[in-house]
A and B are shown apart, each in its own frame.
Chain A
Amino acid sequence: MPRYFTDEHEWIDVDGDNATVGITDYAQSQLGDIVFVELPETGSQVSKGKDAAVVESVKAASDVYAPITGEVLESNPALDDDPALVNSSPEDEGWFFKLAIADKAELEGLMDAAAYKAFCDSL
């Protein structure tokens, strides 16, 4: 299952026509203790590069952008009760939402793991 990264520090796992989205370990370390995650509703449409979720620490609220366009199939119910999962397991249990990919061509131009690591190192 290929994993891509954006320069806004989201990751996206592609599985056939569907994808899972979350924020990277680098992103959670910059945000500090996550206290709340606002997720998109099932059935809503998200557009590449536009607001899809909000992640909040005590003193900051950051928009999370959709890496690609699609329809939201499911949001991670575990984050309601335990937003700290984003800190402890950002790239696994702390996933944000799953979506049905509208246009696979949008995946072009996203980074792979090596490119993303180089990108973070340059920051």
Chain B
Amino acid sequence: MSTPNASGWKPGTPAKDDHGMDGPPTVTGNRALMLEEPLIFEIGTSQTTGVDLPDVPSSTSSRLGSFTRADEIGLPGLSEPEAIRHYTRLSRQNYAIDLGLFPLGSCTMKHNPRLNEKVARMPGFADVHPLQPVDTVRGALEVINELAVWLIGLTGMDGVAMSPKAGAHGELCGILCIRAALEARGDAREVILVPESAHGTNPATAAFAGYRVENIPATGEGRVDLEALKSRLGPDVAAVMITNPNTCGLFERDMKAISDAVHAAGAFVYCDGANFNAIVGKVRPGDLGVDAMHINLHKTFSTPHGGGGPGSGPVVLSEALCPYGPLPFTARTKDGVVHLVEEENAEAFDHKHAFGRMTAFHGQMGMFTRALAYILSHGADGLKQVAEDAVLNANYVLRSCDDLLEAPFGPSGPCMHEALFSDAGFAEDTTTLDLAKALIDEGYHPMTMYFPLVVHGAMLVEPTETESKASLDRFIMALRSTAERAKAGDPTLKTAPHYAPRRRLDETQAARKPVLAFDGPCAPAGTPQLSEQGGS
């Protein structure tokens, strides 16, 4: 293995007992900087507020009809200092990219540049209404159009639908374009083919769009079985959904042959662009025959994940699908003016076949400004470097660990931006989950686990290009050490994590007896409004 950076951090000696605490219990439940925090309902009263608003006299005339809300709503309030403390204390129970390497395969957790945050908050972007007269929002339309031009250029496609709100929404948009195109030629097809290793959103999307889903088998080396695919193609197949690079972290070498076969059968190629980060600036999906591909701006173009969104999922389209893309969108005319194309002027912009509207307004403007700032910062040269460094980092992890962890597709060649390992060789009773939880104790977010389903106990590691070599070396050291413990059957793995704000949580109880909302009154007036009351 590589020698860890000499000046770098090293793991401490594990504590002696199972609780990871040598000292006595504390009266607050806190453990120094590991602070417990009650719910807002337990500390906030309905009379407390953190904003200064005028008291409107109750004698003021009302036009609410007979609908005045009389009963207490039950919303707790906190003063500003209490609120800041509540949320700051909560924030410290989270792992985040700002704290360390976050190797979630397929999720692309890379550094989020703060310039992008600054740009998104410029009043001309943050404080404009989606229905303002278009002459007052030309700059916003130019941002959308400029980003669209980049996305088209980077993918070698013909057009892009910008409005989808996230990757899965983009998938749906692409499949609906395909369905609209098929219907326009009077061709009702029923089936969408999806590889076994696909993201769950693919079959869910196809089903939502009214298609039946059939699986395509993979070859022993983790790629789509071209011959099996060809033999299944026929007049009932509407589309094939392929992830490239695929969920095993491999490039689909036969992509062009797949596209040619699909097109020859009168069907379309949908590409799941979740892994575009590996090839941006190196390969254009349009050159490989793709008809539609969504781009997760929160992956490849580093808009923040925000603990689960918001995302943004523009969909690039081939010439055959462009006429069916949804409204609204932007178009730049020869005079340089960027127009907003909606239901009213769609025909004037030669877009009368739009399949409809996927969302109320124009898409994720706040993500467009961030993504555009990210793209402009990198430029065409920097984006190419992004893909190269992402792939280099993943291969470095792969080859630094594949003597210890089984890499099922390692022998067949390099990986793309993520390294895939299996649990082969682990001691009986020790699982991928145990290894993952032990990585938490080492200060890392675990990798993606048990996905793709085609690999037993899968561990999918995506380091991304924003990790330094020193950072990778420290992670490799932790991963190797944990893997050795898993192979040796170290029983402390079963009880990991030991040092996180919580031990393993009882998910069975959560699902059997769901408690999905706080059921009780707000804190009574006079409750000492201290955050130091302890957790439970």
Say yes or no for A36: interface residue by CB 8 A criterion. yes
Chain B residue at minimal CB-CB distance from A33: B508
A35 and B511 CA atoms in complex are apart in Å by: 6
Which residues on A sit within 8 Å (CB–CB) of B508? Answer: 33, 35, 58
Interface residue SS majority, chain B: helix
Min CB gap A78→B, angstroms: 14
Say yes or no for A107: interface residue by CB 8 A criterion. no
Interface size class of B (residues with CB under 8 A): under 10
Chain B residue at minimal CB-CB distance from A35: B511
Interfacial residues of chain B within 31-56, with CB under 8 A of chain A in the complex = none
Which residues on B sit within 8 Å (CB–CB) of A56? Answer: 511
Chain B residue at minimal CB-CB distance from A82: B512
Which residues on B sit within 8 Å (CB–CB) of A84? Answer: 512
Which residues on B sit within 8 Å (CB–CB) of A58? Answer: 507-508, 511
A35 and B514 CA atoms in complex are apart in Å by: 10
Which residues on A sit within 8 Å (CB–CB) of B511? Answer: 35-36, 56, 58
A83 and B511 CA atoms in complex are apart in Å by: 10
A84 and B511 CA atoms in complex are apart in Å by: 11
Which residues on B sit within 8 Å (CB–CB) of A36? Answer: 511-512
Which residues on B sit within 8 Å (CB–CB) of A35? Answer: 508, 511-512
Interfacial residues of chain B within 472-515, with CB under 8 A of chain A in the complex = 507-508, 511-512
Min CB gap B374→A, angstroms: 35
Chain A residue at minimal CB-CB distance from B512: A35
A58 and B508 CA atoms in complex are apart in Å by: 6
Interfacial residues of chain A within 21-48, with CB under 8 A of chain B in the complex = 33, 35-36
Min CB gap B136→A, angstroms: 50
Min CB gap A60→B, angstroms: 11
A58 and B512 CA atoms in complex are apart in Å by: 9
Chain A residue at minimal CB-CB distance from B507: A58
Min CB gap A50→B, angstroms: 16
Q: Chain A, 66-88, contact with B by CB distance < 8 Å: what is the 0/1 string?
A: 00000000000000000110000
Chain B residue at minimal CB-CB distance from A84: B512
Min CB gap B457→A, angstroms: 14
Min CB gap B289→A, angstroms: 36
A33 and B506 CA atoms in complex are apart in Å by: 11
A35 and B512 CA atoms in complex are apart in Å by: 5
Min CB gap B59→A, angstroms: 52
The listed residue with most B CB atoms (<10 A of its CB), out of A33, A36, A56, A84, is A33
Which residues on A sit within 8 Å (CB–CB) of B512? Answer: 33, 35-36, 83-84
Q: Chain A, 45-57, contact with B by CB distance < 8 Å: what is the 0/1 string?
A: 0000000000010
Which residues on B sit within 8 Å (CB–CB) of A83? Answer: 512
Q: Chain A, 83-123, contact with B by CB distance < 8 Å: what is the 0/1 string?
A: 11000000000000000000000000000000000000000
Which residues on A sit within 8 Å (CB–CB) of B507? Answer: 58
A83 and B508 CA atoms in complex are apart in Å by: 11
Min CB gap B533→A, angstroms: 31
Min CB gap A86→B, angstroms: 11
Min CB gap B514→A, angstroms: 9
Min CB gap B111→A, angstroms: 31
Min CB gap B200→A, angstroms: 12
A57 and B195 CA atoms in complex are apart in Å by: 25
Where the two chains meet, the residues of B that have a C-beta atom closer than 8 Å to any C-beta of A are 507-508, 511-512
Which 7 residue pairs across A and B have the least CB separation, nearest first?
A35-B511, A33-B508, A58-B507, A35-B512, A58-B511, A58-B508, A35-B508
Where the two chains meet, the residues of A that have a C-beta atom closer than 8 Å to any C-beta of B are 33, 35-36, 56, 58, 83-84
13 A–B contact pairs at CB < 8 A?
Answer: A33-B508, A33-B512, A35-B508, A35-B511, A35-B512, A36-B511, A36-B512, A56-B511, A58-B507, A58-B508, A58-B511, A83-B512, A84-B512
